[in-house]
Structure 1
Amino acid sequence: MSSAFGATEKSTRQVSTLRRFLRYVRPYRKQVPIALLCVLIGAASQAVGPFFIGWSIDNLIAQGNLQGLLLALLALTTIYVLGIQAIREQIVRVGWIVQHVLAQLRQDIFTKVQSLPLSYFDRSEAGDLMSRLLNDVSTVNQAFGQTIAQMLGNLFSLIGIIIAMLSINLQLGLVSNFVVPLMILTTALFSRWARSRFRVTRKTIGELSTKLEEDIGSVREAQAFNRVQLNIDEFDQLNAANRDANIEAVAITAAFLPSIDFLNTLATAGVLAYGGYLAVSGQATVGVVTAFLIYVQQFFRPIQILSQFYTQAQSALAGLERIFSLLDEPSQLNDAPNAIEMPPIQGEVKFQNVAFGYTPNQRVLNQVNLLAKPGQTIALVGATGAGKSTIINLILRFYDVTEGAVLIDGIDVRSVTQASLRRQIGIVLQDTVLFSGTVAENIAFGRPDATHAEIESAAQIANVHELITTLPKGYSTYLGERGAMLSQGQRQLISIARAVLIQPRILILDEATSSIDTRTEALVQDAIARLLQNRTSFVIAHRLSTVTQADQVLVVQGGQIVEHGTHQELLDQQGIYANLYALQLGSTTPVNTAP
């Protein structure tokens, strides 16, 4: 019972998936009637041809009517030429529709990925997302884009052939079609086995893509830590799993096609035996039997093509299920129905009894209260995992608080549109992200409409203008993937220029100088000092020497702010901050933190 229920549930899911895919065809529905008309013309030509041949044998060849036979051959040629042209047009039009549908599907996937909440990426792998965008869509393209036009033509041809056979001779038609129930049963059994195997192939190719993307991006680390052979062995295991899954799927397909061929031979034998009996007994003419033999061959050719399409469709439906499961993921935090545009920010930031957890059962922040006045620099210090980056994420509203509220200028960030909020906040991350493109395009990432003069001015403030002028093509220099031709410090300076260009009222620096050499750090600190003027800023830093001038230093521990004050005030308290500062200076006299 459970097996039957499971099969029914799978079939229902497949039908639902197919219906959803067909909704993508609606914008192109005006093209569908023309394509279907071509399908019908092509199918009619296939069904009429054998009937015409049988009629010619009985009424022309048997009567020695050569002139009539020539006219019949001319008419038959015309029928087939029209049919071929109709089939060609049908393939072109259906292919046009499917390619537009697939392009929209890719666009929807990419748009969805861009709007997914950060929590989704916390639990998902980039390689699997790439597999859905490329491999799964490619599988759908192979099944629907390349063969659906042929499938439609053969489906209607099959219907036409069955009608013609039953119309010419009902008894012989029934004998010819006695294998149809066997074919339906065979197809149902093989499709059930194929469906489960193709799901495995889609899963394993996703895992393989994830591994490939991860290992290619970490070749340097793999060589440095002598992990090359281990990575090869792990990839070999995933590759073997994908290979075995595909071999099993191919084996099912390979067993299916000979089964259809056997049924084809069985039906041909039935027509020869029973048709020969009818012809000898005078109940059917030779032309009728000949027409039926041609029909039987034509009858099984569409079935073979439909069967091949069916096995391909199993893989495509498995891919569509993965695609639609991604599209059904909840999007990023939605703006409130009555969300307003964030007014020009003055810069006051307040956390009011804030609690937050990435999962319902584990809180990262608990009862956090802080107040940053306009123009103040707030330093966040503490051990890794203490909650510093989470505080920043809540200011940007990458996540919503579990309890309490985050207020900017007294306005709850949940009550304004995300775009208007983030438009006025600049961020410079520890792991600088540059994109394939020119230097100018990278600086203007947040303001694509910026003029060259504005871009150059931002670069000058960020102390990176002189560096850019030494590049081969200056601001038009193409940086390559992730800005690989630049050093870490140089990439950081360009990211600071990017933040400068949007003129933020609130600035976030997440370990902005942690991976920079001393000389470059001086340039960065000078650029930041100018950038911080009259702006509220939050600085995350493990190097406490970089936050000595902050207006407030907040020590975060266990998701709470356990100390706050200026650098000197915290040193005077002889607490956690003072102890951390002494350790970083290499002091041989530990600070006493006892009460």
Structure 2
Amino acid sequence: MARRGRMGRGVAPTEKAKDFKGTMKKLIRYMASFKIQIFFVAVFAICGTIFNIAGPKILGKATTEIFNGLVSKVSGGSGMDFGKIGTILATALSLYLISAACSLIQGFLMTGVSQKTTYKLRKEISQKINRMPMNYFDTKPVGEVLSRVTNDVDTLGQSLNQSATQLITSVTTIIGVLVMMLSISPLMTLVALLILPLSMLLLSFVMKHSQKYFVGQQEYLGNVNGQVEEIYSGHNIIKAFNKEEAVIREFNETNGKLYDSAWKSQFFSGMMMPVMQFIGNLGYVGVAVLGGFLTIKNVIEVGDIQSFIQYVRNFTQPIQQMAQVANMLQSTAAASERVFEFLEEKEEDQTVEHPVSVENLKGNVEFDHVHFGYNPDKIIINDFSAKVKEGQKIAIVGPTGAGKTTMIKLLMRFYDVNDGSIKIDGHDIRDFNRSELREMFGMVLQDTWLFHGSIRENIRYGKLDATDEEVIQAAKAAHVHRFVKTLPGGYDMELNEEASNVSQGQKQLLTIARAILADPKILILDEATSSVDTRTEVLIQKAMDNLMKGRTSFVIAHRLSTIRDADLILVMKDGDIVEQGNHEELLAKGGFYADLYNSQFENAGECA
């Protein structure tokens, strides 16, 4: 995750992009659609800066007029010309007002550009996620993907908004102030510029020595956060094994390292501003002394000293801002690079040239000598063949790692087979559009997924245009209607983000109701009753029986007692079908299935 640099008290290092120039070019091309707004941002930023720069010199004229008036009064003259002073001050006020208006307009425009850019990026990322192959999500942590959608896009938008305008105003200010200083006195400008090399040396010294401590601070902060999260989530286990002292000792050690690196980084960071101010004050003293001497010699006027001191202050500030801009641009590039990497990932082929229509398909499925491996060099499904007729209930059983869930992923085209084919009603599934193919399937998984929303909305997810009556009928078929009516709000009760305000069995029944409402031709049930009690299992089994009526169904099960009525049982071991037949046939063979089936009851007897 790209981190933003600290502002104000120094500059902390940020994560750097691997290809800064290339990424920034991509970002500029990406923002080409906003070129008109960006042009006006630059125009108003430059205008606002120029009007602001002109102010000190005009105020210096007012100071000179006041000084001359006082001298005239002492020498018996007419004194101050208040009308002229008023005109000068009104002119200065007008310039500052115009400058503020320009800054306001450019800020409004740049905020719009940055927010439209982040909106466009989030929209494209959201669309991209739906086109990504499953193996991307199987190999990437969830947090990694979420970080690109949230943190990286936020970092890009915020740093882009600040860095773009600050870069323009800083460069304009440096050039404009330098011109104004030279117009007042080249000699005083030379003296003022002598402090810059010293400032740069000190700045580079502090950044060089503080960088390793800032990096250490971020690393140990991450370690501390990770330990706190781990301790919090595993608090019961820590208590159960009496590991409190070990956990505290480990935390104190990491916290001590964080304290040490944070103290040093903050010390260096906090030391920067006082040192820079001290050097700046030395410059002001030099300018004031030289300015006084030149005024006595009538080379410059009194008001020019005041103007020049203001320009010196305005000259050093944008130089510090440039360092901050460089830091923010690194953040922008690092965040952009991660976002563009995601957007450029290889996509899943969604359509084919002449797709087969899913209309009027019946649900006959054939696995024809299927070979597959997540890694092509390591095949895990070897020569898998099976024929399934429409309306049949097919059970897939076998030990963990046999390839049961992998076969379902192949059937849904989450992955494509390496060799052989899978056919539905004689058509290779690679001849269907993926989205249309998946409309034929309904899934009920071991891990239930319900989103934050009402129960009605969660059931209707299976068929978004379903009427309330259809939702209720699906709930009744899933044996969940009676339970829902007892809840506060009934079908309108809101499920929280984890859906923890209903039980595991109730969540499973809701997912079955959703599948019933979708009315798919082919059903996939993956360990749907593995994490519930026996009474709830019976209820879920009844709901699943209603769901499977008249549909081709694939049931993955470890509890073999639940699939005794299957039309066909495929017994898998090490990626192969080692046996197939119905329950009685397989038991009569006395093979691998019989061993699996009998071992469950032996274990149950031992437990009893």
Describe the SS at the equivalent of 2:421. strand
Q: Aligned pair 1:468/2:484, yes or no?
A: yes
Q: Aligned pair 1:177/2:193, yes or no?
A: yes
Cα pair 1:127 1:213 within 8 Å, conserved: no
How many Å separate the matches in 2 of 1:205 and 1:339? 55
**Equivalence for 2:54:** 48
Unaligned runs of 5+ in 2: 1-12, 73-79
Shift of 1:235: 7.5
Which residues in structure 2 correspond to 1:207-356 (within 5 Å)? 250=266, 253-258=269-274, 260-272=276-288, 274-331=290-347, 333-336=348-351, 338=353, 340=355, 342-344=357-359, 345-356=361-372
How many Å separate the matches in 2 of 1:204 and 1:130? 22
Q: Relative CO higher for 1 or 2, CA cutoff 8 Å, sep ≥ 6?
A: 2
Cα 1:406–1:142 shift into 2, 3 Å:
same
**For 1:9-38, what per-residue CA distance to the aligned partner results, in whole angstroms no more than 9, with x for missing partners?**
967722333344445544444433443333
Cα pair 1:127 1:214 within 8 Å, conserved: no
Cα pair 1:61 1:69 within 8 Å, conserved: no
Which residues in structure 2 correspond to 1:361-440 (within 5 Å)? 361-440=377-456
Describe the SS at the equivalent of 1:434. coil
Describe the SS at the equivalent of 1:378. strand
Shift of 1:454: 1.4
**For 1:316-343, what per-residue CA distance to the aligned partner results, in whole angstroms no more than 9, with x for missing partners?**
5444444444444434x22255262642
**For 1:388-445, what per-residue CA distance to the aligned partner results, in whole angstroms no more than 9, with x for missing partners?**
1111111111122233322222333233222111111001001112221111111112
Cα pair 1:191 1:311 within 8 Å, conserved: no
Cα pair 2:53 2:173 within 8 Å, conserved: yes
Moved more, 509-518 or 28-37: 28-37
Partner amino acid, structure 2, of 1:62: N
Cα 1:379–1:217 shift into 2, 3 Å:
farther
Describe the SS at the equivalent of 1:383. coil
Cα 1:479–1:225 shift into 2, 3 Å:
farther
Describe the SS at the equivalent of 1:53. helix
Shift of 1:285: 3.9
Describe the SS at the equivalent of 1:537. strand
Partner amino acid, structure 1, of 2:349: N
Cα pair 2:61 2:303 within 8 Å, conserved: yes
Q: 1:164 aligns with which of 180, 185, 194?
A: 180
How many Å separate the matches in 1 of 2:604 and 2:150? 58
Which residues in structure 2 correspond to 1:530-549 (within 5 Å)? 530-549=546-565
**Equivalence for 2:494:** 478
Cα 1:275–1:197 shift into 2, 3 Å:
same
Describe the SS at the equivalent of 2:579. strand
**Equivalence for 1:38:** 44
Unaligned runs of 5+ in 1: 1-6, 590-595
Describe the SS at the equivalent of 2:555. strand
Q: What is the number of residues matched between the two proteins?
A: 582
Q: Aligned pair 1:551/2:567, yes or no?
A: yes
Cα 1:195–1:137 shift into 2, 3 Å:
farther
Shift of 1:296: 0.2
Cα 1:121–1:194 shift into 2, 3 Å:
farther
Partner amino acid, structure 1, of 2:52: Q
**For 1:192-241, what per-residue CA distance to the aligned partner results, in whole angstroms no more than 9, with x for missing partners?**
78888777777777777777777777767777777788777777788777
TM-align CA RMSD? 3.8
Shift of 1:76: 1.4
Cα pair 1:195 1:318 within 8 Å, conserved: no
**Equivalence for 2:599:** 583
How many Å separate the matches in 2 of 1:138 and 1:245? 27
Cα pair 1:424 1:502 within 8 Å, conserved: no
Cα pair 1:191 1:310 within 8 Å, conserved: no
Cα 1:79–1:219 shift into 2, 3 Å:
same
Describe the SS at the equivalent of 1:166. helix
**Equivalence for 2:23:** 17
Cα 1:137–1:114 shift into 2, 3 Å:
same
**Equivalence for 2:586:** 570
Describe the SS at the equivalent of 1:482. coil
Cα pair 2:372 2:382 within 8 Å, conserved: yes
Cα 1:443–1:278 shift into 2, 3 Å:
same
Describe the SS at the equivalent of 1:62. helix
**Equivalence for 1:3:** none
**For 1:258-292, what per-residue CA distance to the aligned partner results, in whole angstroms no more than 9, with x for missing partners?**
55435533543443455455445554444433322
Cα 1:446–1:182 shift into 2, 3 Å:
farther
**Equivalence for 2:523:** 507
Partner amino acid, structure 2, of 1:97: V
Q: Aligned pair 1:88/2:98, yes or no?
A: no
Cα pair 2:42 2:165 within 8 Å, conserved: no
Cα pair 1:55 1:288 within 8 Å, conserved: yes
Partner amino acid, structure 2, of 1:46: N
Cα 1:237–1:536 shift into 2, 3 Å:
farther
How many Å separate the matches in 2 of 1:18 and 1:588? 64
Cα 1:167–1:258 shift into 2, 3 Å:
same
Cα 1:223–1:328 shift into 2, 3 Å:
farther
Identity %: 36
Cα pair 1:95 1:149 within 8 Å, conserved: no
**For 1:53-95, what per-residue CA distance to the aligned partner results, in whole angstroms no more than 9, with x for missing partners?**
3344556743655232222122112222222233233333323
Cα pair 1:348 1:408 within 8 Å, conserved: yes
How many Å separate the matches in 2 of 1:341 and 1:267? 80
Q: 1:519 aligns with which of 531, 535, 544?
A: 535
How many Å separate the matches in 2 of 1:233 and 1:107? 46
How many Å separate the matches in 1 of 2:340 and 2:198? 34
**For 1:76-122, what per-residue CA distance to the aligned partner results, in whole angstroms no more than 9, with x for missing partners?**
12222222233233333323332333344444444445554333333
How many Å separate the matches in 2 of 1:577 and 1:533? 26
**For 1:524-551, what per-residue CA distance to the aligned partner results, in whole angstroms no more than 9, with x for missing partners?**
2222223222221111001111111112
Cα 1:21–1:338 shift into 2, 3 Å:
same
Cα pair 2:37 2:113 within 8 Å, conserved: yes
How many Å separate the matches in 1 of 2:133 and 2:190? 60
Cα pair 2:570 2:580 within 8 Å, conserved: yes
Q: Aligned pair 1:459/2:443, yes or no?
A: no
Partner amino acid, structure 2, of 1:562: V
Cα 1:11–1:519 shift into 2, 3 Å:
closer
Partner amino acid, structure 2, of 1:15: K
Describe the SS at the equivalent of 1:483. coil
Describe the SS at the equivalent of 2:423. strand
Partner amino acid, structure 2, of 1:510: D
Partner amino acid, structure 1, of 2:494: Y
**For 1:141-186, what per-residue CA distance to the aligned partner results, in whole angstroms no more than 9, with x for missing partners?**
5544467545543442233212222334344334433444565666
Moved more, 116-125 or 346-355: 116-125
- Which TM-score applies when normalising by structure 1? 0.84
Cα pair 2:131 2:350 within 8 Å, conserved: no
